Structure 1
């Protein structure tokens, strides 16, 4: 499935900016290519870059990375629950509470790369296991409709968004 194949009602409108950033690639191709791009980006960072923030009060690079990891885990979980026809509404999460609780500024780059690879590989394996019907399943997440496929594309769009910020705002 490609982003253009998502239907109206597959995800809340506020995720449109993430979906719009994506190339028209199959979800699994996209997740794999992003993994390569992100690992390349991360391995080229200097450890001192982790403490960089582009503006006072904004997250450091070290804080953004666990935020991305947490978000990916949460959307993988949402996709799994939805694909398995669990109709229990899924709660939102407070990203602003997660970041300080993550201890991100005490993490090292090697551990963050290791965690990123593990999470992304886990997600790829999960999405590979989904049938076409599973991708189309919808559930309720954060008060809005969400399809399993849309959850995958939101993961990809969220990463693309932050990678763009790293390059354009953080000048990395």
Structure 2
């Protein structure tokens, strides 16, 4: 499935900026490519820069990376619920509340790469067993309608969005 196959009403407008970074890439292929490329990107960051922030109220690099992982876990859970037909509306999550508890300052690149790889492999396993009918199944999260596919594209686009920010503002 590709982003162009999503319904326009799906998680717009906030998440559209993430999904748009994917152009018209195929979902599972993008997940697998990111599994290969993102750890390489993390590994290219000098260890001494992991605590760098570009502004006084901005996250350090390690916090951004853990935010990507935390968000993928939340979105993965949403995809599981929606794929199984659960129609219970799911609340949003406040990303800024997660960061102080991420223990990012004590993490090194290798531990972050290991965690990312584990989480992404679980995401790929979940999505690789979903047929097109299931990918089109919908649910509600953050008061927005989502298909299972749109959740997957948000995972990939969110990661790419933050990788781009890291490249532009941090490195």
Residue 10, structure 1, aligned to residue 40, structure 2: no
User: What's 1:106 paired with?
Assistant: 106
* 1:133 aligns to 2:130 (yes or no): no
Shift of 1:23: 3.0
Cα deviation code 1:128-153 (max 9, x no counterpart): 01111110011010111011000000
Alignment match, 2:42: 42
Moved over 3 A (4+): none
Q: Determine if contact 1:12/1:146 at 8 Å carries over to the other structure.
A: no
Q: What is residue 56 of structure 1 aligned with on the other side?
A: 56
Q: Which residue of 1 aligns with 2:28?
A: 28
Task: Give me the whole-angstrom Cα distance separating, in 1, the residues matched to 2:82 and 2:27.
Answer: 17
Give the paired residue count.
171
2-structure distance, mates of 1:99, 1:58 = 11
For 1:151, the equivalent position in structure 2 comes to 151
Conserved? CA contact 2:28–2:127, under 8 Å: yes
Match of 2:124 in 1: 124
Q: How does 1:65-84 map to 2 (within 5 A)?
A: 65-84=65-84
How far residue 50 of structure 1 moved from its aligned partner, in angstroms, is: 0.6
| Partners of 1:47 and 1:108 within 8 A in 2 | yes
Contact preservation (8 Å) 2:10, 2:144:
no
Partner secondary structure for residue 140 of structure 1: strand
Matched, 1:164 2:164: yes
Please provide the CA RMSD for this pair. 0.9
How do residues 82-93 of structure 1 correspond to structure 2 at under 5 angstroms? Answer: 82-93=82-93
CA contact (8 A) 1:10 1:138 kept: no
TM-score by length of 2: 0.97
Partner SS for 2:9:
coil
Unaligned segments of structure 2, at least 5 residues: none
* Contact preservation (8 Å) 1:53, 1:60: yes
What is the CA–CA distance in structure 1 between the aligned matches of 2:9 and 2:23, rounded to whole Å?
Answer: 20
